[in-house]
Amino acid sequence: LASDEHGDPIHQLEYRISRLEGVLRLNKMITESGGKIFATNGKKADFDATVEKCKEAGGSIATPNSPGENDAILYFVKYFNTYAYLGIKQSLIPGRFQLLNGAQLGYTNWYSNEPSGKGEE
């Protein structure tokens, strides 16, 4: 990148990233919490396709680790009026869940009598 009115190449990149993030926010495609960016393409897909798309984008499927991150995911659920897949799976113990890599969950926010696996967790 050539130097121009926006300064050195690093500042130019920061400026361009800021503009792109602004467009994505306007289109309700990204939000952030706790220094993490949560994004969606707004399309419906199955779990495996969702995991793959997240990897292709250089990220991972969302796993909330705090109330703020949970709210960031809920933002998309409400905006698109649909469910969201999370980066968790049922463990070998029925009714217990864990991260996809097998680690224990550090944060949960289930409704009463959930998770049931019926989509209303």
Domain ranges of the chain: 9-99
**Cα–Cα distance measured from residue 121 to residue 115, given in angstroms and rounded to the nearest whole number:** 5
**Cα–Cα distance measured from residue 105 to residue 42, given in angstroms and rounded to the nearest whole number:** 26
**Cα–Cα distance measured from residue 92 to residue 97, given in angstroms and rounded to the nearest whole number:** 8
- Tokens representing 109 are 């926010």
Residue 1 or 59, more confident:
59
Are the CB atoms for 53 and 45 separated by under 8 Å? yes
Residue 12: is its pLDDT beyond 80? yes
The model scores a pTM over 0.85: no
CATH superfamily to which 9-99 belongs: Mannose-Binding Protein A, subunit A (3.10.100.10)
Are the CB atoms for 96 and 90 separated by under 8 Å? yes
Q: Would you place residue 4 in the very low, low, confident or very high pLDDT band (cuts 50, 70, 90)?
A: low
